[in-house]
A and B are shown apart, each in its own frame.
Chain A
Amino acid sequence: MSSTPPEDPQDLSRRGFLQASAAAVGGASALAAALSPLRELDPDDLPSIESFFQKHYREMTAEEREAALERIRESVAKRWEVEAEVSDPSPRDGVEFVYALNVSRCIGCRKCVHACVEENNQSREPELQYIRVLEMPRGTLDVEKSDHHYEREEVPDRGHFYLPVQCHQCADPPCVKVCPVEATWQEPDGITVIDYDWCIGCRYCEAACPYWARRFNYSKPGIDREEVNPDMAYLSNRPRPVGVVEKCTFCLHRTREGRMPACLEACPVGARKFGNVLDPQSEVSWILRTKRVFVLKEDVGTLPRFFYYFDERYPRGGAAPFEEKTGRDAPAGEERR
């Protein structure tokens, strides 16, 4: 051994050894105690062997997918005692989904926001929503001037218009580009989806999205039993685990079966339009051909599939000159009678 004692301690006496052992045991117990919060882990939340080794969605065989769906059914039954119908609908050939929203009609009632939460099994505690309705002052499209937290007795407010924003299902999605593990991708029908069992939770996609459409589960999503929507699909509204990103999928469990998205059905004024842009007779095709259409933040170049349009007439509730005579605010007809 080296002759310079400080560099190479070999002089351990019995007492020194005991003391060193005490320090080592103390250190080990401090380490173990530091990890003690892990006791709180719910065994049900820990990944089973099968789910730990579950493949990426796009690499699974048909049987493996079915097994994955069955695991979801079991976990839903175990957590909420709800019998869920978990499906995995495929994109249809010749279908590319597009959303159009009539800003002349939207009144900012937020029914879409909450219908979406109920349909898509979003967390209630903490609250998580895919749709954000912006109250915009007239004369601008600068979202920085918007108010997300408006509270009014009645909507629409005369001085504002309303701009609901959700995932725009971009044709050139930056969120997909940045994901380091390919946990999110664009489907042939244009919907960008997430494999919640593959996401590692780095939130790079959340930073990349110019529309602030992605949400992260900062804690385990809390949903009560009676709030669970049992109509589920693997890529859309099945329950999400903690630590993964989620977002609007145009309700693909509904729309791939031909149904309408939940936000559209809840809209009381028919401002929301949805359909197949490859079908020239679809409502959205007509809108794109004939209406005055714009997309939000066109300059970021992500080619959204979510379009805003407006009617040629003055929007209702607006300060149009003839509104004063014949609008609902001044029922002049009564006086003439």
Chain B
Amino acid sequence: MREYLRFLSRCFRVSFVGDWRYQAWMAGLTTVALVGLNAYAKQLVWGLGATGMTDEVSWGLYIGNFTFLVGMAAAAVMLVIPVYVYKNRELSDLVIFGELLAVAAIFMCLGFVTVDLGRPDRFLHLFQRFNFPLSMLAWDVLALNGYLLLNLHICGYLIYCAYRGRKPSKAFYVPFVFVAIVWAISIHTVTAFLYVGLGGRPFWNSAIIAPRFLASAFAAGPAFLIVCLWILDRLTNYEVPRAAITTLRRIVTVALLINLFLLACEVFVEFYTGSSHGVSARYLFFGLHGHSAMVPWIWTAIALNATALLILMTPVGRHEFGLNAACLMMIVGIWIEKGMGLIVPAFIPTPLGDIVEYTPTTNEILVCLGIWSAGLLLFTVLVRVTIPVLAGRLTADRSPAPRHPSPRRLAAGEEPESRLQPRARMSRT
């Protein structure tokens, strides 16, 4: 126990150490996080009137970001499945980054849900009268927190084992990994059911939403990791295996293809039938009665996703630059499509046919940026601590620098080998 606390305190100290780029990145994130906190404090005092939400559009940027980030969290499974089910070796070193991303993403999800609550002071009511299994939100609370715990356990156990120089016992984490695979699918399915289950909102009331969510998540999540790994590779001495990136690129390409296919299916149903239930889709894609705030956004998203797909499916995608550009495009594209593009139009027009558009306020945007910064801060710290520990440069052993092998590789029976150099540092994500 004492050893564990010492581990935590050393991790804490390590997270402050880095070159100037690391320091600047962390300082910048902290600054934005504090600005977000300041904005949230104002919202706490005056209520959700500080946001652009209304009775007409009662969910906005917060829930949009939440939905997107649930996908990012679920996307870890796209690394876990190849490694644990198909015994893919290239990804085995990287799978922990996926899991750390899941931890950070769930942290942000919980942040976005919290700031969306009108009475966060009453969150204890969840423990006193929990409407389970009837409310999909209750399911989501369980799914998200369960997933957070699972990933914290898996990452924490593996990292601590590496720190102590022990070989991780499979019994302590492999079963959890398989539970987490199912759980990852379930968090995003439950989040989709949150919307899909509402008969009064025809825009959401479509069985294809859950598959769409998963497809877009499996595109955006690994794309985010590709970009992170590329930055790690460029700015630190950490070398990312080429083969792993290739695998990730294939995953991303297929997921994006499926995502665009499902989107096309949805669009076909909404427009070919011509039923009045397609009115929100008409608002989203073409505008309604002169109201068209969402139109440029959704077409930007589609253009970004289509361009990304084009890049990925041509030789351009094999180049480093092309690949990263495509990944960034699809992250932004999917963020728009799934965040704003899926949440807001369902409220327009209202169930009574009134059209009130939604524009987030500055305060609301600052809160969002603050949560994103806090989440990225957490992710950076997690990665910053994990790399030296797994490389065996930060150990419980006080003797000089024994090179401990990566626990996963030990577990997989591989040759111990570390690519991490003494001055390896996380920089930007």
Residues of A within 8 A of B (CB): 1-4, 6-9, 27, 30-31, 33-38, 40-41, 47, 52, 55-56, 59, 126, 128, 132, 134, 142-146, 148-149, 165, 174, 177-183, 198-204, 206-212, 214-220, 241-245, 297, 300-302
Smallest Cβ-Cβ distance to A219: which chain B residue? B49
A214–B393 Cα gap in the complex (Å)? 58
B283 to chain A, nearest CB (A): 10
- CB of A9 within 8 A of CB of B17, answer yes
- CB of A181 within 8 A of CB of B131, answer yes
With contacts defined as CB atoms under 8 Å apart, how many contacts are there between chain A and chain B in the complex?
218
* Chain B, 28-51, CB within 8 A of any chain A CB: 30, 34-35, 37-38, 41-42, 44-49, 51
* Complex interface: chain B residues within 8 A of A297 (CB): 200, 351
- CB of B49 within 8 A of CB of A218, answer yes
* Complex interface: chain B residues within 8 A of A216 (CB): 48, 55, 58, 118
- CB of A203 within 8 A of CB of B121, answer no
A31–B33 Cα gap in the complex (Å)? 10
A165–B116 Cα gap in the complex (Å)? 27
- CB of A181 within 8 A of CB of B126, answer yes
A183-B125, A202-B118, A217-B47 given as contacts; is B200 within 8 A of A174 (CB)?
Answer: yes
A128–B46 Cα gap in the complex (Å)? 17
- CB of B129 within 8 A of CB of A207, answer no
Interface stretch of the complex, out of B96-104, B133-141, B308-316, B333-341:
B133-141
- CB of B41 within 8 A of CB of A36, answer yes
List 18 extra interface pairs beyond A7-B388, A56-B129, CB under 8 A. A2-B393, A2-B394, A6-B423, A7-B394, A35-B37, A144-B276, A165-B352, A181-B128, A199-B122, A201-B119, A201-B122, A202-B117, A208-B198, A210-B199, A216-B55, A218-B47, A243-B118, A245-B118
Asked if B279 CB lies within 8 Å of chain A CBs, one says yes
A203–B138 Cα gap in the complex (Å)? 14
A36–B41 Cα gap in the complex (Å)? 8
A261–B56 Cα gap in the complex (Å)? 26
- CB of B352 within 8 A of CB of A211, answer yes
Asked if B170 CB lies within 8 Å of chain A CBs, one says no
* Complex interface: chain A residues within 8 A of B198 (CB): 174, 178, 207-208
- CB of A143 within 8 A of CB of B351, answer yes
- CB of A178 within 8 A of CB of B41, answer no
A203-B58, A219-B47 given as contacts; is B118 within 8 A of A144 (CB)?
Answer: no
Smallest Cβ-Cβ distance to A178: which chain B residue? B135
Smallest Cβ-Cβ distance to A300: which chain B residue? B199
- CB of B136 within 8 A of CB of A178, answer yes
A34-B35, A208-B200 given as contacts; is B126 within 8 A of A201 (CB)?
Answer: no
* Complex interface: chain A residues within 8 A of B59 (CB): 203, 207
Contact residues on B (Cβ < 8 Å of other chain), bracket = 35 or more
A178–B346 Cα gap in the complex (Å)? 17
A178–B140 Cα gap in the complex (Å)? 12
Asked if B10 CB lies within 8 Å of chain A CBs, one says yes
Q: Mark B391-429, 1 if CB is under 8 A from A, else 0.
A: 001110010110000000000000000000011010000
A160–B24 Cα gap in the complex (Å)? 64
| Pick from B42, B126, B388, B398: contact of A180, CB under 8 Å | B126
Can you pick out 14 interface pairs between chain A and chain B where the beta carbons lie within 8 Å of each other? A1-B398, A3-B401, A9-B16, A34-B37, A41-B44, A134-B352, A148-B352, A201-B118, A207-B346, A216-B48, A217-B47, A219-B49, A242-B118, A300-B199
The 10 closest A-B pairs by CB, nearest first: A201-B118, A210-B200, A243-B118, A219-B49, A218-B49, A3-B400, A143-B353, A180-B137, A144-B353, A34-B38
- CB of B398 within 8 A of CB of A6, answer no
A31–B34 Cα gap in the complex (Å)? 7
- CB of B279 within 8 A of CB of A144, answer yes
- CB of A179 within 8 A of CB of B135, answer yes
Asked if B212 CB lies within 8 Å of chain A CBs, one says no
Asked if B145 CB lies within 8 Å of chain A CBs, one says no
B55 to chain A, nearest CB (A): 5
- CB of B130 within 8 A of CB of A181, answer yes
A165–B423 Cα gap in the complex (Å)? 67
A35-B38, A40-B45, A242-B118 given as contacts; is B13 within 8 A of A8 (CB)?
Answer: yes
* Complex interface: chain B residues within 8 A of A178 (CB): 134-137, 197-198
- CB of A182 within 8 A of CB of B129, answer yes
A144-B279, A180-B135 given as contacts; is B200 within 8 A of A209 (CB)?
Answer: yes
Smallest Cβ-Cβ distance to A52: which chain B residue? B121
A208 to chain B, nearest CB (A): 5
Asked if B53 CB lies within 8 Å of chain A CBs, one says yes
